[in-house]
Amino acid sequence: MPIAIKDSHSKLTAIIEPSDSVYIASCPELDLVTEGDTTNEALSDLIEMTIDYAEQYMEEFDQFSKSPNRASHKDYILEIHQKKAKEKVRELFI
């Protein structure tokens, strides 16, 4: 099993693994998982899902930022919300 040491708390991790005939993309910092036919498609879908999640988080900020399983997402969400554009959000992934 590969091990990755993350030295920055402002970056998001994209883990992309093959599974049957698709690729599974996950972001452990935000508990998001999606899939795509190619690695690029899986990453692109993960980025779109990240943006959608950030929008929902901001709409329900008081509730989400106090939730035990979502409060730790707050700093990432604020960074994503500030970037907004897909290309800029992509830069947050290592």
pLDDT of 84: 80
pLDDT of 64: 96
pTM: 0.88
pLDDT > 70 in the chain, percent: 90
Distances (CA, A) of 1 to 4, 27, 69: 10, 17, 26
pLDDT of 5: 56
Q: Is the pLDDT of residue 11 over 80?
A: yes
Distances (CA, A) of 49 to 2, 4, 23: 25, 23, 15
Domains of the chain: 15-89 (3.30.160.620)
pLDDT of 7: 55
C-alpha to C-alpha distance for 12 and 27, rounded to whole angstroms: 7
The answer to whether residues 91 and 3 touch, using CB atoms and an 8 Å cutoff, is: no
Q: Kindly report, residue by residue over 30-63, the tens digit of the pLDDT.
A: 999 999 999 999 999 999 999 999 999 999 999 9
